[in-house]
Amino acid sequence: MMAQTLTGRAARLEDVAALAGVSLATASKALHNKPRISEETKQRVLDAAKRLNYSPNKLAQFLARGTTGTIDLVTSDLQGRFSAPILIGAEN
């Protein structure tokens, strides 16, 4: 379960940055383990994220990447005679 901020919504990256006393960019870099962030700053950000029970927004990540990593299959084969083997193969 996500922790809620004082406004009753799930914690966002902006909330983590504010609690850690860093910029949004620094908070993002720290959470993604990017170089050129001091260990002290990284730890402050990680502590803030943990305190807020921060979880990255998957939809925002998909939008930034331009892909969801999913495959859609549309079929009119309601019995599954032809689509079932395809689905099993795709799953494997």
Return the exposure string of 4-22: e unless at least 16 CB atoms fall within 10 Å of the residue's CB, then b: eeeeeeebbbebbbbbbeb
Instruction: Establish if 62 belongs to a structural domain.
Output: yes
Q: Which DSSP category does 4 fall into? A: B
Residue 31 near residue 16 (C-beta atoms within 8 A): yes
Total domain count, the chain: 1
Instruction: Establish if 39 belongs to a structural domain.
Output: yes
- To the nearest whole number, what is the mean pLDDT of the chain? 85
Q: What is the mean pLDDT of residues 65-88?
A: 78
Instruction: Establish if 5 belongs to a structural domain.
Output: no
Task: Summarize pLDDT for 5-43 with one digit per residue, the tens.
Answer: 556 788 999 999 999 999 999 999 999 999 899 999 999
Task: Summarize pLDDT for 37-62 with one digit per residue, the tens.
Answer: 999 999 999 999 999 999 988 887 78
Q: CATH number, domain at 25?
A: 1.10.260.40
| Alpha-carbon distances, residue 44 vs 14, 20, 71 (angstroms) | 14, 5, 38
Instruction: Establish if 4 belongs to a structural domain.
Output: no
